[in-house]
Amino acid sequence: MLLQILVSGFLLGGIYALMASGLSLILGVMRIVNLTHGLFFTLGAYILFSFIIGTNVNPFIGMFFTIIVLFLIGSFLEWLIIKRIKYSEINMMVLTLALAIAGEEFIRITWGPKYLHIPPLIEGEIRLGHIYMPNQRILACFIGLFMLFLLMFFLKKSKTGKAIRMVQQIPETAALMGINVRAISMVVFGLGVVLAGAAGSLWAPMYITYPAMGWTPLLISFAIVILGGMGSLGGSILGGFLFGFATLLTSMYLSSGLVNVIPFITLFIVLLIRPSGFFGKDIF
Partner 1 sequence: MESKRSLYIMTFLCVLGLILTIFCSSSIVSASDTLKLGVIVPLSGAAAEPGTRMLKAIELAANDVNKAGGVLGKKIELVVWDEEAKVDKALTGAKKLIMQDKVWGFVGGYRTGVSLAIMDVSADEKVLWMITDSVGDQITDKIKENYNKYKYTFRSQSPASDFARNGIPFLTDVVKTKKYFYVSENTQWTKSLGDALSKFATSLGIECVGTVECDPGATEFTSEIEKIRQANPGAVICSLAAAAGPAFARQYTEARINIPIMYCAGIMTFLDVVQGLGDKANYQCTMAWLWDIPVTPKTLDFYKRYTPYYARPGGSEDSRGYDGLMLVAEGIKKAGSFDVDKVVKALESIEYVGVSGKFVFTKDHQPKYGKGFLEPIIVQWLDKKGYVIYPQKLANSTFKLMPSK
Is the Cβ of residue 81 or residue 126 nearer to partner 1 in the bound state?
A: 126
Q: How far apart are CB 50 and partner 1 at their closest, in Å?
A: 15
Coil/strand/helix, residue 132 = strand
Q: How far apart are CB 154 and partner 1 at their closest, in Å?
A: 30
Q: How far apart are CB 123 and partner 1 at their closest, in Å?
A: 9
CA distance 263 to 221: 12
Element (H, E) at 128: strand 125-128
Contacts (Cβ under 8 Å, ≥6 apart) of 250: 258, 259, 261, 262, 263
Contact, 9 vs 259, CB < 8 A?
no
Q: How far apart are CB 219 and partner 1 at their closest, in Å?
A: 11
Is the Cβ of residue 85 or residue 261 nearer to partner 1 in the bound state?
A: 261
- Give the footprint of partner 1 on this chain (CB under 8 A): 1, 4-5, 8, 12, 104-105, 108, 113-117, 119, 125, 132, 134, 203, 206-208, 210-213, 216, 247-249, 251-252, 255-257, 259-260
Q: How far apart are CB 257 and partner 1 at their closest, in Å?
A: 5
CA distance 84 to 62: 33
CA distance 127 to 39: 35
Q: How far apart are CB 107 and partner 1 at their closest, in Å?
A: 11
Q: How far apart are CB 134 and partner 1 at their closest, in Å?
A: 5
Is the Cβ of residue 119 or residue 275 nearer to partner 1 in the bound state?
A: 119
Element (H, E) at 187: helix 181-203
131 φψ region: left (φ > 0), alpha (ψ -120 to 50), beta (else): beta
Give the rounded distance of the alpha carbon of 278 from its chain centre.
Answer: 18
Is the Cβ of residue 117 or residue 274 nearer to partner 1 in the bound state?
A: 117
Task: Answer positive or negative: Cα dihedral of 124, 39, 152, 220.
Answer: negative
Is the Cβ of residue 53 or residue 181 nearer to partner 1 in the bound state?
A: 53
* Percent helix, percent strand, percent coil in the chain, to nearest 5: 75, 5, 20
Which residues make beta-bridge pairs with 126? 133
Is the Cβ of residue 122 or residue 206 nearer to partner 1 in the bound state?
A: 206
Is the Cβ of residue 78 or residue 104 nearer to partner 1 in the bound state?
A: 104
